[in-house]
Amino acid sequence: AAGVIQSPRHLIKEKRETATLKCYPIPRHDTVYWYQQGPGQDPQFLISFYEKMQSDKGSIPDRFSAQQFSDYHSELNMSSLELGDSALYFCASSSPGLGIYNEQFFGPGTRLTVL
Amino acid sequence: AQSVSQHNHHVILSEAASLELGCNYSYGGTVNLFWYVQYPGQHLQLLLKYFSGDPLVKGIKGFEAEFIKSKFSFNLRKPSVQWSDTAEYFCAVRQTDSSYKLIFGSGTRLLVRP
């Protein structure tokens, strides 16, 4: 069965650079969630989208922005990168609709290292 | 703010031993509860979930969890662990009256010795 795809899987950037992380949800899934997992920490919710509109926002820095496109894939844009942004970024998708019984399926994550 | 606590950060067991991982959450309203497993180098996978009904939930790979509302707990159990259960386990909570985001616990690293 198709799973959530994230690209790239690994990314190395310098401080103050920008990065774009991509998430391709499971086909026919219309909701995407982004989570950040720092070293030795639990995943923290960043932002979510439903039908291309932002549905919720968590502890996402102002330097980060995200959007969901017409094909339901989502991109997380990160600017002015800081050392503390080094983390594993998970994307999850669920569907259809914004139902509370919908399970979130997680992608493999993008490991971002900021030097 | 809602939070999830996992009391055991590292657990080491021998094969065939019984497992119980604790999870407590702090939210007085209605919640959905989840346990996810992350095998080394892999993504989060759902082990089991509780939405309503029977508080004893059975999941994949012989895992089960019991929701005790009065204790705000959702402990994960397995009667006999295997070496292949070596992984990190995350408890997660989702409020049903607001966002659908998951709030995760800090995780428990389980090492099962053959």
User: Pick the residue with more confidence: A103 or B53?
Assistant: B53
- The Cα–Cα gap between B45 and A108 comes to 10
8 Å CB contact of B43 and A107: yes
The residue among A23, A31, A37, A42 with the most chain B CBs within 10 A of its CB, best to mutate, is A42
User: Pick the residue with more confidence: A104 or A66?
Assistant: A66
Decide yes or no: CATH 2.60.40.10 for domain A5-114. Answer: yes
Size of interface A-B (CB pairs under 8 A): 58
Instruction: Tell me the CATH number at B44.
Output: 2.60.40.10
With b for 16 or more beta-carbon neighbours within 10 A and e for fewer, the A23-44 pattern comes to bbbbeebbbbbbbbbeeeebbb
- Grade residue B24 by pLDDT with cuts at 50, 70 and 90: very high
* Domain regions of chain A by residue span: 5-114
Please name the residue of chain B whose CA is at the shortest distance from the CA of residue A92.
Answer: B44
Q: Which residues of B touch A98 (CB under 8 A)?
A: 100
Give the mean pLDDT of B58-78.
95
- Grade residue B54 by pLDDT with cuts at 50, 70 and 90: very high
Single-letter amino acid, residue A50: Y
Can you give the length of chain A in residues? 115
